[in-house]
């Protein structure tokens, strides 16, 4: 077992590079079938999804577009509550087939609060594709159309995901080692 240390924590290998790449190829084939002739617009959520989005997009065999957005969440007023804003959503998504790409769904709060901003613009359709889903942690429910890996409720890093800024460039996915 090859432990790695990132900041103050130890992590153990969890999903290999080959397994990730295999799964992404399958997902790209599925999406290519589902969106043939529809010229989908992929909306990838930064920072965590940048490697997932890149690897998936390269494998698509159809005409497709991609844009990258960043979600900033902050506390609004008492009446607006918690607010999630999208930075960089400058492509017109009206009547487009949108596929949101996210690295991980944990509680689901981020996407749950962001989704109305997509649906309000009347896209032709919206689907969500995620690399990782932690169903045990998910409190906000919405349909997740494509999931690469369903994982237990443990912190992971690598393949775009970070622990306090580090670990995004690790080619496999590692899991927090609890000793």
Q: Which residues are catalytic?
A: 106
* CB nearer to ligand XMP: pick between 40 and 108: 108
Q: Please state the closest distance from residue 19 (CB atom) to ligand XMP, in A.
A: 17
Contact between 48 and Mg ion (CB under 5 A)?
A: yes
* Dihedral of alpha carbons 75, 76, 81, 84, sign: negative
Contact between 105 and ligand XMP (CB under 6 A)?
A: yes
The secondary structure of 21-53, three-state, reads HHHHHHHHHHHHHHCCCCCCEEEEEECCCHHHH
- Report the distance separating Cα 129 and Cα 28, nearest Å: 11
- Report the distance separating Cα 108 and Cα 28, nearest Å: 23
Q: Please state the closest distance from residue 102 (CB atom) to ligand XMP, in A.
A: 6
Contact between 109 and ligand XMP (CB under 6 A)?
A: yes
Contact between 103 and ligand XMP (CB under 6 A)?
A: yes
Listed residue (106, 111, 101) closest to 154, CA to CA: 106
Q: Please state the closest distance from residue 54 (CB atom) to ligand XMP, in A.
A: 16
Residue 47 preceded by cis peptide, ω within 30: yes
Taking CB under 6 A as the binding criterion, the range among 26-34, 35-43, 106-114, 115-123 that sits at the site for ligand XMP is 106-114
Taking CB under 6 A as the binding criterion, the range among 5-13, 23-31, 100-108, 117-125 that sits at the site for ligand XMP is 100-108
Listed residue (1, 9, 2) closest to 167, CA to CA: 9
Q: Which of residues 132-171 bind ligand XMP (CB under 6 A)?
A: 155-157, 161-162
């Amino acid at each position: 077992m090859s432990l790695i240390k990132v900041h103050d924590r130890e992590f153990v290998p969890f999903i290999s590079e080959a397994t990730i790449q295999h799964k992404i190829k399958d997902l790209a084939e599925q999406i290519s079938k589902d969106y043939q002739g529809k010229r989908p617009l992929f909306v990838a959520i930064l920072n965590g999804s940048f490697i997932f989005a890149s690897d998936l997009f390269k494998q698509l065999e159809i005409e497709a577009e991609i844009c990258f957005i960043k979600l900033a969440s902050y506390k609004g007023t008492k009446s607006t509550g918690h607010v999630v804003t999208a930075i960089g959503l400058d492509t017109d998504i009206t009547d487009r087939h949108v596929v949101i790409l996210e690295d991980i769904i944990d509680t689901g709060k981020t996407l749950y609060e962001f989704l109305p901003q997509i649906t309000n613009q009347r896209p032709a359709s919206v689907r969500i594709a995620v690399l990782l889903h932690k169903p045990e942690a998910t409190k906000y429910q919405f349909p997740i159309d494509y999931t690469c890996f369903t994982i237990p409720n443990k912190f992971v890093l690598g393949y775009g995901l970070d622990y306090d800024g580090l670990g995004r460039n690790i080619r496999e996915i590692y899991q927090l080692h609890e000793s």
